[in-house]
């Protein structure tokens, strides 16, 4: 099953995804997309590491997510990708403006053929005001389009608010 877990900042989305991965009973590999470039991000990464079981695998892939999924997805395996909006940000910040579309299309084209359990975590950014600035508006637009395309392809989509999951698609939690 492929799942998309959405939520705002500190909504409990990562914790829910980690619980679903643990509850799957499968070997879990965590695919981290962040690039901890400052002290605050280093602290966030450290908190995520402390929460994860030591026996989970770890892949750090900030850009080529589809490639990492193709290489590691397998029947009887659970991949947890945290998080898509950091991945999107990494791609938006590249000098190659076309890279985002290429990587996004690779991800969307690859998803249907991937075996095993895959859990995507992403920040829902479309519930607030339209941000000032071209780059932030593009980020919100790209995240919204990505979420729509993934939600169409995933068997379960969950919105997490205040630590509570609301199933939008698929079987309820």
Residue-level pLDDT at 38 = 65
Specify the 3-state DSSP secondary structure of 160.
strand
H-run or E-run covering 121: strand 117-123
How far apart are the C-alpha atoms of 153 and 110, rounded to whole Å? 11
Are 59 and 71 a contacting pair, CB within 8 Å?
no
User: Given 2.40.128.20, 3.40.50.300, 3.40.50.1820, 3.40.50.11540, which CATH number is that of 2-169?
Assistant: 3.40.50.300
Residue-level pLDDT at 49 = 75
How far apart are the C-alpha atoms of 108 and 101, rounded to whole Å? 10
Among 161, 145, 113, which Cα is nearest to 5's?
161
Among candidate residues 2, 48, 106, 147, the one labeled active-site is: 48
pLDDT < 70 regions, the chain? 36-39, 41-42, 45
Residue-level pLDDT at 95 = 94
Within 8 A by CB and 6+ apart from 30, the residues are 21, 52, 56, 57, 58, 59, 80, 82
48 annotated active-site: yes
Residue-level pLDDT at 51 = 81
Residue-level pLDDT at 40 = 74
Q: Domain segments of the chain: what residues?
A: 2-169
Beta strands 78-82 and 28-32, pairing class: parallel
């Amino acid at each position: 099953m492929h799942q998309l877990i959405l939520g705002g900042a500190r909504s409990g989305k990562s914790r829910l995804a980690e619980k679903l991965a643990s509850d799957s009973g499968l070997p879990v590999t965590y695919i981290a997309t962040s690039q901890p470039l400052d002290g605050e991000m280093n602290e966030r990464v450290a908190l995520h590491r402390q929460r994860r079981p030591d026996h989970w695998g770890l892949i750090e892939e900030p850009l080529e997510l589809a490639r990492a999924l193709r290489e590691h997805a397998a029947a009887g395996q659970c991949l947890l990708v945290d998080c898509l909006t950091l991945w999107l940000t990494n791609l938006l910040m590249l000098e190659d403006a076309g890279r985002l579309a290429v990587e996004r299309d690779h991800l969307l084209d690859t998803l249907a053929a991937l075996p095993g359990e895959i859990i995507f975590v992403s920040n829902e950014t479309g519930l607030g005001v339209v941000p000032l600035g071209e780059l932030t508006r593009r980020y919100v637009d790209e995240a919204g389009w990505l979420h729509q395309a993934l939600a169409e392809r995933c068997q379960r989509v969950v919105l997490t608010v205040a630590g509570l999951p609301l199933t939008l698609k698929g079987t309820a939690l």
